[in-house]
A and B are shown apart, each in its own frame.
Chain A
Amino acid sequence: MPFIPHTEDDIRSMLDAIGVDAIDDLFDEIDDSLRDVSLDSIPTRASEQAVSRLMGERSAADAGGLCFIGAGAYEHHIPAAVWELTTRGEFYSAYTPYQPEASQGTLQVVYEYQTMMTGLTGMDVANASLYDGASALAEAVLMAVRANRKSKASRILMPASVHPFYRQVAHNICANQGITFEAIDFDSRQGTVDVDALDRWAGEDVTALVIPQPNFFGALEDVDALTDWAHTNGALAIGVVNPLSLAVLKEPGRWGAGEGADIVVGEGQPLGAPLASGGPYFGILCCRKKHVRQMPGRVVGRTQDIDGRDGYVLTLQPREQHIRRSKATSNICTNQGLLVTAATIHMSLLGAQGVENVAATSIANTRRLVNKLTAIDGVERVFDAPCFHETALRLPGDASAVLEALADRGVFGGLALADFYPGLENTVLVCATETKTEADLDVYADALQAVLVEQAQAA
């Protein structure tokens, strides 16, 4: 359905038809004092030219280097066709598909997306997406509290190996709703959670255990043991995953000895969303069928119209605000339609084998990078656990200073971890995806060697 703005004449004739003089008259129920608010603290508008220039300058700051930073957002190659198709007007400016008769294209794409997500995660149902991985985790926590009726404590066990931003967002969204987060430490040698560390909570009322895979350090957690612990203790298991990694790792639907994870969330950015200085990305949320009525977000279903033809609609809508109001499963009533469209096209173009190739190549490149870097004196891996496509390295010098010097040489070397984990001083989280060639890895290794020598001499 195309969008055509009204002309002054259109507006005039509509007002005449309903017998109203001016549009403002339609708002006369709103008190004058509320209507005349001036927005003093907001700067005056800027022209398109000025804004384009400003944005260009800002994005230039994030460009111009070989990117070896992961930490939740990953540079992957996106085939040209993905955004060529995604930016077609029919997808790009489509509105929320509340009217199925006018939105079959949009609804079908989302249905396909949901199907792909359940396939990747091994879960029964997926929603149409949320804002991002971090808020998806917060929604999963709220969902677990609603769904786990046997638990009264609203207590969530949150490993410190979960992405620091995700933990912060979950806290911001959930802490005022009577939900307590208990931190679970990770083993300092392995970089993963030892299931024995959960013993303190055995037999206590635990509502859910969050299980990252891979975790923030790229390390692989013992998901089977953790899932089983959760279920044995009457807690729901919430998986937090990188969807790309699911091409090579066991899917959360099969974690543990029983039914697998109960709720799975993740960040969809690796599937067709450019880094774009931080967003927009999209949140993935999947669950077991028995919890579907507690799941937030839109869900597209397939059904038949009165002529018996297949069609798609938004379904299970009584979960949502326009029906349940304050008792809805979430205050969020939208999804990241454009990003989901791109992800669906991206996955379709790559195919299952292509997605697996990307994952495998990323793992191999990171391994090669780590070998080259640890060959440098004083650079060593911090954690022993096997990892996906990123890992933490300790440097013989101040990590932030090293990263700055590397950036001057056109290498974005990674993320310094000291700010997030006291105890991980001089540590950098590095990641090499399939976008890096052997030559790129050598550029990093040579640059790091040179920088470390410089810094040692300057000391």
Chain B
Amino acid sequence: MSEIPKDLSYTKTHEWIDYDGDGTCTVGITDYAQSSLGDLVFVELPETGTKVGAGDALAVVESVKAASDIYAPLDGEIAEINEQLEDSPELVNEDPFGEGWLFKINVSDPDAVENLLDADTYEGIVEDEED
């Protein structure tokens, strides 16, 4: 069973979100996602400063067998990207909720964070997909 930290928020498309309470969210992909993709060989991240809308495809993670779009969970602007992933994409597999973070967004509407899925709801989605 994949790891699903209780203190994070989630999307149906297997992103996790960590809101710092002060306008910035860190985003990555979940343990379930990294395990389904297999060993990552490349991560294509947006430029900082890019404005994004919730649901926009803004990054791509590439494994040996698949290339998967990553979607912005919320409206906002890219504040920072995880530069380590350029040389070490495997961090996403090894530590998906920690060192494998993808990017940080300055969210335009912090209240929208409430509408993201909680850990239990996300767990239900994963269980359904695994069946």
Contact A293 B42 (CB under 8 A): yes
Residue numbers in A under 8 Å from B64 (CB-CB): 317-318
Contact (A324, B67) CB under 8 Å given A293-B42, A318-B41: yes
Number of B residues, CB within 8 Å of A: 11
Residue numbers in B under 8 Å from A368 (CB-CB): none
Q: Is A58 on the interface with B (CB-CB < 8 A)? A: no
Q: Mark B55-69, 1 if CB is under 8 A from A, else 0.
A: 000001011111100
Residue numbers in A under 8 Å from B47 (CB-CB): 149
Q: Mark A50-93, 1 if CB is under 8 A from B, else 0.
A: 00000000000000000000000000000000000000000000
Residue numbers in A under 8 Å from B62 (CB-CB): 293, 318
Interface size class of A (residues with CB under 8 A): under 10
Contact A323 B65 (CB under 8 A): yes
Cα-based distance from A345 to B77 in the complex (angstroms): 54
Contact A323 B42 (CB under 8 A): no
Q: Is A12 on the interface with B (CB-CB < 8 A)? A: no
Q: Is A327 on the interface with B (CB-CB < 8 A)? A: yes
Cα-based distance from A317 to B66 in the complex (angstroms): 9
A-B pairs under 8 A by CB, number: 19
A-contacting residues, B26-70, CB 8 Å: 41-42, 44, 47, 60, 62-67
Residue numbers in B under 8 Å from A324 (CB-CB): 67
Q: Mark A320-331, 1 if CB is under 8 A from B, else 0.
A: 000110010000
Residue numbers in B under 8 Å from A327 (CB-CB): 60, 67
Cα-based distance from A301 to B118 in the complex (angstroms): 44
Cα-based distance from A55 to B66 in the complex (angstroms): 46
Cα-based distance from A53 to B16 in the complex (angstroms): 68
Cα-based distance from A318 to B41 in the complex (angstroms): 10
Residue numbers in B under 8 Å from A318 (CB-CB): 41-42, 62-67
Closest to A149 in B: B47
Residue numbers in A under 8 Å from B66 (CB-CB): 318, 323
Q: Mark A133-161, 1 if CB is under 8 A from B, else 0.
A: 00000000000000001000000000000
Most chain A CB within 10 A, of B47, B63, B64, B67, is at B67
B-contacting residues, A308-339, CB 8 Å: 317-318, 323-324, 327
Cα-based distance from A67 to B107 in the complex (angstroms): 68
Cα-based distance from A149 to B67 in the complex (angstroms): 19
B73 nearest CB across to chain A (Å) = 21
A323 nearest CB across to chain B (Å) = 6
Closest to B47 in A: A149
Residue numbers in B under 8 Å from A323 (CB-CB): 65-67
Residue numbers in A under 8 Å from B42 (CB-CB): 293, 318
Cα-based distance from A423 to B47 in the complex (angstroms): 47
Cα-based distance from A323 to B41 in the complex (angstroms): 14
B47 nearest CB across to chain A (Å) = 6
Closest to A293 in B: B42
Cα-based distance from A149 to B58 in the complex (angstroms): 13
Most chain B CB within 10 A, of A293, A318, A323, A327, is at A318
Cα-based distance from A178 to B44 in the complex (angstroms): 23
Cα-based distance from A185 to B47 in the complex (angstroms): 35
Residue numbers in A under 8 Å from B63 (CB-CB): 318
Cα-based distance from A149 to B81 in the complex (angstroms): 15
Cα-based distance from A327 to B62 in the complex (angstroms): 12
Cα-based distance from A293 to B66 in the complex (angstroms): 14
Cα-based distance from A323 to B61 in the complex (angstroms): 12
Cα-based distance from A317 to B67 in the complex (angstroms): 10
Closest to B46 in A: A149
B129 nearest CB across to chain A (Å) = 21
Q: Mark A199-210, 1 if CB is under 8 A from B, else 0.
A: 000000000000
Residue numbers in B under 8 Å from A317 (CB-CB): 64
Cα-based distance from A318 to B60 in the complex (angstroms): 11
Residue numbers in B under 8 Å from A293 (CB-CB): 42, 44, 62
Cα-based distance from A324 to B57 in the complex (angstroms): 14
A150 nearest CB across to chain B (Å) = 8
B46 nearest CB across to chain A (Å) = 9
A419 nearest CB across to chain B (Å) = 45
Known: A149-B47, A318-B42. 17 other contacts (CB 8 A): A293-B42, A293-B44, A293-B62, A317-B64, A318-B41, A318-B62, A318-B63, A318-B64, A318-B65, A318-B66, A318-B67, A323-B65, A323-B66, A323-B67, A324-B67, A327-B60, A327-B67
6 A–B contacts from the bound complex (CB under 8 Å): A293-B42, A293-B62, A318-B64, A318-B65, A323-B66, A324-B67
Sort A-B residue pairs by CB-CB distance and give the 5 closest, nearest first: A318-B62, A318-B67, A324-B67, A323-B67, A323-B66
